[in-house]
A = this chain, B = another copy of it.
Amino acid sequence: MDYVKLPKTKRGEITLKKICDAAEHLFSINGFYATEIHDITQRAQVATGTFYNYFPDKSSVFLYLMDELGRKLRYAIRQARQEMPDASMIEQERISIRVFFLFVKEHFGLFRIVWQSQFVDAESFKRYYERFSAGYVREIKKAQQSGEVRDFDPVLISYALMGIHSFVTLKCFVFDESEPDEAMIDQLVDFVAHGILQKTRRGDEYEQNQ
């Protein structure tokens, strides 16, 4: 909201969009430090100086993009969840995962931008995940009250879930350069719901370790 100087004409809007698109692309491929302003402006087909009509400096685009992408993703997840308001927590989790992967597919940049942001601006990085966590915690608490979910620390679980999403994304999109299929999502949801252990003799093992 302060990272960017918003344009006042149609032309300005187009230019800003071009710069943002170019920046998102380059940051996600090469990272923050390896991306030069010159690269961005070149890809956006504008002069170097034009960049500075919209952003005070390099970090600003980066943080602006992160903010925007995070906002869009949270919105997309919220929307998708609201389409199935009566679904159980675990079904909502399936929806979240699906939307998350879909979003990462569209905006591959987000993922790498967020991870790198901790070295660009630690506060923004923290804020990003805290916002996400907060949304999760709300849902988890609700599900705990309804008796669906057990009495874990919701914050802890929210980070565990985010960790699962992030690392599966890493494995599929980054390492394998493919994308998760529905069978994979099924497994993940099942894992989150019931854990990795065989279902037999379940109570036993659980008690013995407390």
Contacts and interface: CB of A to CB of B under 8 A. Distances in A.
Given A147-B198, A155-B171, A190 B209 contact: yes
A178 to B, nearest CB: 13
Contact of A119 (B34, B160, B187, B203): B34
Contacts of A186: 209-210
A198 B140 CA distance: 12
Nearest to A171: B159
Copies in the complex: 2
A152 B187 contact: yes
Interface in A184-206: 184, 186-199, 202-203, 205-206
A150 interface: yes
B192 A199 contact: no
Interface string A145-180: 001111011011101101111111011001100000
Contact of A194 (B30, B119, B163, B197): B197
Contacts of A194: 194-195, 197, 202, 206
A112 B116 CA distance: 10
Dominant secondary structure of chain A at its interface with chain B = helix
A115 interface: yes
B118 A205 contact: no
B175 A167 contact: no
A126 interface: yes
Contacts of A62: none
Contact of A196 (B147, B159, B193): B193
Given A91-B209, A119-B33, A205-B88, A192 B184 contact: no
Contact of A164 (B31, B148, B164, B188): B164
